[in-house]
Amino acid sequence: MDFDKMFEIVKELEFDKKKVICEDHGFEVYLLRPSRLSKRFKDYDVEKNFQIWLRESEREFRPNHLRVMIDLNLRARSRPDLKESLLTAFDNIFYQKDPDKEVKIIENEEFKHFLNPIKIIAYLSQLFIIEQEYCYHRESNFDPPTLFYQGWVRQFIDNLKEIDNLCMSVCNGQPPMIKYTYMENKKHKKYDPNHDFLWYLKE
């Protein structure tokens, strides 16, 4: 589903009604807009707030950004020959393309290590980007703010540093390496709106 259609689904979510977004190989991604928020989220806008859920059989939980990043890192490690294809697919999702179409270039490839089917990971990535764009309004060093997330996606695929160190950096709120963001960051002095596709691979 393309970005604009998905964004409209998010905006029009009804309270307390499950909306299934994607199903693949026994996994299901669905959305939920709770009518009541816990004390932890008391400052959130109940009209905008929504939750992203992942179900596998009887297991249901709310995945976070690290699931996408770890999955893609494992795939890049097991198939380094497909690193550029992974970057292409997930950058295009960041550029608001349809996840279904983007993963076709890799969905039939064999990966020895991964967390979830690639289609599930692709839809999670699209939803995390929408979640940030729709709900995140704090001051950011990135413009667009979603570039913080996408910079990490790129780094987890391209820079195969030890995965525990990468995860610790994300959990500590550190920004991704500047080489993965600066040319698309309007707040950076080297911002270039005419950058090449996958420009950071040429750095």
Question: What's the CA dihedral at 161, 164, 170, 171 to 10 degrees?
Answer: -170
C-alpha distances in Å from residue 32, one per residue of 10, 15, 122: 9, 7, 19
Return the structure tokens found at 163. 């995965």
Map tokens 């704090």 to a residue.
Answer: 138
What pLDDT is attached to residue 45?
81
DSSP string, 110-173: --SS-SS-HHHHHHHHHHHHHHHHHH--S--SSSSTTHHHHHHHHHHHH----HHHHHHHHHTT
Strand partners, 52: 31
Q: How many residues does the structure list for the chain?
A: 203
In this structure, which amino acid lies at residue 127?
L
Residue 77 class from Cβ within 10 Å (0-12 exposed, 13-18 middle, 19+ buried)? middle
What pLDDT is attached to residue 37?
81
Map tokens 């890799």 to a residue.
Answer: 106
What pLDDT is attached to residue 186?
98
DSSP string, 8-71: HHHHTPPBT--EEEEEETTEEEEEEB-SS--GGGTTS-TTT--EEEEEETTEEE---HHHHHHH
Q: Is the peptide bond before 144 cis (omega within 30 degrees of 0)?
A: yes
What span, in angstroms and rounded, lies between the C-alpha atoms of 47 and 29?
21
One digit per residue, pLDDT tens: the chain, 203 residues? 999 999 999 999 999 999 999 999 999 999 999 998 877 776 778 888 999 999 998 899 999 999 999 999 999 999 999 999 999 999 999 999 999 999 999 999 999 999 999 999 999 999 999 999 998 878 899 999 999 999 999 999 998 789 999 999 999 999 999 999 999 999 999 999 999 999 999 97
What pLDDT is attached to residue 38?
79
